[in-house]
Structure 1
Amino acid sequence: MRRCSLKVVVVFFSMFAINAWAINVIEGVRIWPAPENTRVVFDLSDKPDYSYFYLSNPNRLVIDFKNTQNISNLTNLAKNDTRIKLIRTSTSKNNTAVRLVLELNNSYDDSIFVLAPTGPYGDRLVVDLLDKKRKQVATHKPKNTKRDVIIGIDAGHGGEDPGSISKNGTYEKKITLAIAKRLQAIVNKEPGMKAVMIRSGDYFVNLNRRTEIARKQQVDFLVSIHADAFRTSQPRGGSVWIVNNSRAQSELSRWLVNREKNSELLGGGGELIKRTNDDNLAVFLADLTKDKSLEISDRMANNVIKEMKKITKMHKSKPQNASLAVLKSSDIPSMLVETGFISNPHDFKNLMSSRHQGKLANAIFTGMKNHFVRYPPEGSLLASQKPTQHKISRGESLSVVAQRYKVSVKEIKLANNLKTDVVRIGQTLTIPRVN
């Protein structure tokens, strides 16, 4: 009996000795596969002290966490990833360190950085493995051969960034992707229109990268889908946001911009976190080509609000303005649609309903389609569908033509990319279609 007690004491003190140096703990490991990269997130109890190196033949990334122990389960972590074969432990030269080995299928570019606690997360080490043959971003210049009108659909948040979280733990990123996929299906059924998804699964896309992807896909318009939240449960209803010449000063707009900053910190690291001298992290569109992009964005936003009013309560009945990074591209007209408040019980119930998601997607689509039918992009199939043409005769002005066709001067200028009200005799104008 005495010998047995002695063994228990020895085991106890051995465990204590092991944990004495382990001032940090790897509590979990998460993998987020994406089309052009894989993100691995190590959740720790404290800020990591680490070093890493690569080995070849076969390709491996080796990370040593100093003064750390691992309690996470590494089994089958990489089973759904194409870049990582396996994550396993190995023996470190330092007996107070944990060595984790990522067995890789190829060699990759990398971005490895630490993220401080924020939102639902604690200290993290993030490893981004990036395909070396990532496609370069093209200049946004749509083709001119009776092409489709291309709609970029951005499902807000994703992967490491859950977005807002409802009282029952539902993530905004799940709702936004569901609505985005419904919108994609509707757009792709429409002759002369095509949808491209900025993210098609549960992975994080840097805010700057979202507009880069849109430009690479040569989109005519970018719509970002979100589900709003506030610190109280009272606010409810949808809203549509665009960027304008002046910063919005409403409490809701400040809340939205701050939430975007926090989302970037949750999942981003990379470029924006390194530029800490940027006041907003969400770059304001000082250089926006105001005449065309803003005009299109404003019209589109009003169209979508008109359609959304038919199927849901609107928190704001007019387009709202905020300096949001996802809207920043000067050559791509864009808007951000807040589909409702997941912090409001009534809105949340609707947003979880597949039927209501379908109605929202259809309302957004109808608003966008109405704009492009009336103002089809040059070279598109929609533009080839015999719009009304008018040749300017002596004595005619834009206001006379507008009155004749029951449209506004502003609409004619937008349809013909006119900067002034001046027209010349013999000039042919496209008359925008009346919805």
Structure 2
Amino acid sequence: MRFLALLLATLMAGAAVADNRIEGVRIWPAPDHTRLVLDTAGGVKHNIFSLSSPSRLVIDLEDTRLKADFDEVALEGSPIRRIRSAPRNGNDLRVVLDLKSDIKPRSFTLKPNKQYGHRLVVDLIDEGGTRIDRASSPTVTQNSAGKRDIVVVIDAGHGGEDPGAIGPRGTREKDIVLKMAKTLADLVNQQEGYTAKLTRTGDYYIGLRNRTVLARKYNADLFVSVHADAFRTSQPKGASVFALSQRGATSETARWLAQSENRSDLIGGAGGLSLDGRDDTLAGVLLDLSMTASINASLGVGGSILGELGQVADLHKPGVEQAAFVVLKSPDIPSILVEAGFISNPTEEKNLSTDWYRKRLSSAIMEGINDYFRKTPPPGTLLAWQKQNRSGGQASHYRVQRGDTLSAVARENQTTVNELMQFNGMTDDRVMVGQTIRIPSS
């Protein structure tokens, strides 16, 4: 009798383990990868490997059976031709992706959150070069005056499998901020002397670090990340603007110094300051100065935007807040994060779901950006050229921007490096981001 009971318990335990199942499947195509998500009833052990001629990806799942219908999955825009499956080794399941071309696979599991249960995530990465690799050349934009445009990179938060905050009516942050980012990009592109770039243009996820890498690849003068806030209760409301905190700057400085591959492209790209070949002490000082200047510029443009937002919407706080958000940690690019409102507040959720309110907020953000850059335009831009012509050649002050050199400042202001050095009491021609230089009159 004891033997039968033990046998029965063993069989029941085996059945329980084997009862794990794939209950759903979703695909998120992105410019540089496609994300395949398998919803599972519980945590799953798995193994993946690639095959060639023809290209396939094999996913083996232990003690799992299939309850979803792979034939109903839309594969348009993905590298997947077909998904098929078959039982294996009794209780296991083998899923095979027939592919259009070779890919680089990456997989991991996710625990349940507010929207989804257990998940197995498989990323199919484009072997032909990621979007970041393809964006290796800085953006060069010219206007009718032959001067370059100010480049504003706009980042819609979350995306794909990451919905962000979800409002009482089911409104998803990722959808709201993508629409708002596109509206803001249109307004930026309509403004003379500006060009907008989007980190994402559809419903897919981009890693937080990759968002700032894209901004650097696009040679951004400003990075704006758009989000919608949430709280556990429905009372909080109002828009916010964030810049990087000093604590976040300190940790990022240490990370950059620890990763030698960062040194060649910091600070300011071509024509700017590089940390390559400098000892750790000097590199640390230069990086700290650049980070401090970037934060100060972020606070400046953030304050300008907050002032405009306060005229069209409620503000959650009266001043620019600071936090250690990863997307704000560019040592050489002024970066801000705009919380458009609280999606957890029913009134603001309703407003953020409308085109007119999103355009109202976007217009305020654009006004703030333009107001800031009209006062402190980067050298070589149309706005800098217009400001110089308006001044009639009178003596003025110039604040050093990312990528500046003293020779470039001298050239833009029709003077010489020696004259600038003498006028400012400088002993050498090195300049730092945020430094104010007096420009002699003609």
Question: TM-score if structure 2 supplies the norm length?
Answer: 0.74
Q: How does 1:133-282 map to 2 (within 5 A)?
A: 133-134=129-130, 135-136=132-133, 138=136, 146-246=147-247
Alpha-carbon offset, residue 413 of structure 1? 4.3
Cα distance in structure 2, aligned partners of 1:111 and 1:247: 29
What secondary structure is seen at the aligned counterpart in 2 of 1:226? Answer: strand
Q: What is aligned with 1:26?
A: 22
Report the equivalent of 2:68.
72
CA contact (8 A) 2:343 2:352 kept: yes
Tell me the amino acid that sits aligned with residue 52 of structure 2.
Answer: S
The CA distance in 2 between the partners of 1:43 and 1:82, in whole Å, is: 19
Shift of 1:99: 1.5
Give a deviation string over 1:118-177, Cα, whole Å, max 9, x none: 342222111111112225374979789611111000001110100001112111101101
Q: In structure 2, what residue type is equivalent to 1:111?
A: R
Equivalent residue of 1:75, what SS?
Answer: helix
- Residue deviations 1:258-307 (CA, integer Å, cap 9, x gap): xxxxxxxxxxxxxxxxxxxxxxxxxxxx9572343122111110110111
In the alignment, what sits opposite 2:77?
A: 81
Partner of 1:130: 125
Give the Cα separation in 2 of the matches to 1:95 and 1:288. Answer: 62
Count of aligned pairs: 358
Q: Give the C-alpha shift of residue 40 in structure 1.
A: 0.6
Alignment root-mean-square deviation, CA:
2.9
The letter for the 1-side match of 2:112 is P
Is residue 228–residue 340 contact of structure 1 (8 Å, CA) maintained in 2?
yes
Which deviations, in whole Å up to 9, do the C-alpha atoms of 1:365-396 show, x marking residues without a partner?
Answer: 1100111122111111222222526666xxxx
Could you say if the C-alpha distance between residues 384 and 338 of structure 1 is closer, same or farther in structure 2, counting changes exceeding 3 Å? same
Distance 1:430 1:295, change over 3 A: farther
Q: Deviations over 1:329-362 (max 9, x none)?
A: 1011110000100111221121111100110111
User: What secondary structure is seen at the aligned counterpart in 1 of 2:43?
Assistant: coil
Cα distance in 2 between the residues matched to 1:37 and 1:109: 9
Letter of the 1:123 counterpart: H
Alignment of 1:38 with 2:39, yes or no, is: no
| Residue 289 (structure 1) aligned with residue 284 (structure 2) | no
Cα distance change, pair 109–301 in 1 and its aligned pair in 2 (3 A): same
Give SS of 1:338's match.
strand
Question: Displacement of 1:63 after TM fit?
Answer: 1.1
* Residues 56-95 of structure 1: per-residue CA shift (max 9 Å, x gap): 2221111121111111121242432231112122353x12
Shift of 1:116: 2.3
Label 1:150 to 1:97 Cα distance change in 2 as closer, same or farther (>3 A). same
Equivalent position amino acid for 1:98 in 2: L
The equivalent position to 2:96 in structure 1, one of 101, 104, 110, is 101
Decide whether aligned partners of structure 1 residues 54 and 426 sit closer, same or farther in structure 2, where only a CA change above 3 A counts: closer
Q: 2:346 corresponds to which letter in structure 1?
A: P
The 8 Å contact of residues 85 and 96 in structure 2, kept in 1 or not, is answered as yes
Q: Which residue of 2 aligns with 1:335?
A: 336
1:264 aligns to what?
Answer: none
Please, what TM-score do these two structures have when normalized by structure 1? 0.75
Assess if the C-alpha contact under 8 Å between 1:138 and 1:215 holds in 2: no
How far apart are the structure 1 equivalents of 2:140 and 2:189?
Answer: 18
Q: Is the 8 A contact 1:288 1:329 kept in 2?
A: no
Query: Shift in Å at residue 246 of structure 1?
Result: 4.3
2:236 partner SS: coil
Residue identity matched to 1:70? L
Identity among equivalent pairs (%): 41
CA distance in 1, matches of 2:74, 2:200: 20
Contact 1:387 1:430 in 2 (8 A): no
Whether the 8 Å contact between 1:24 and 1:44 is mirrored in structure 2 is: yes
Q: Secondary structure in 2 aligned to 1:39?
A: strand
Match of 1:111 in 2: 106
Aligned CA distance change for structure 1 residues 371 and 37 (closer, same or farther; 3 Å):
same
In the alignment, the residues of structure 2 paired with residue 168 and residue 232 of structure 1 have an alpha-carbon distance, to the nearest angstrom, of: 14
CA distance in 2, matches of 1:115, 1:331: 34
Whether contact under 8 Å (1:30, 1:77) holds in the other structure is yes
- Aligned pair in 2 of structure 1 residues 155, 375: CA closer, same or farther (>3 Å)? same
1:375 partnered with 2:376: yes
8 Å Cα contact 2:168-2:346 kept in structure 1 = no
Q: Secondary structure at the match of 2:97?
A: strand
Amino acid at match of 1:30: R
Q: 1:28 touches 1:72 (CA, 8 Å); kept in 2? A: yes
Change in CA separation of 1:287 and 1:129 when aligned onto 2, cut-off 3 Å: farther
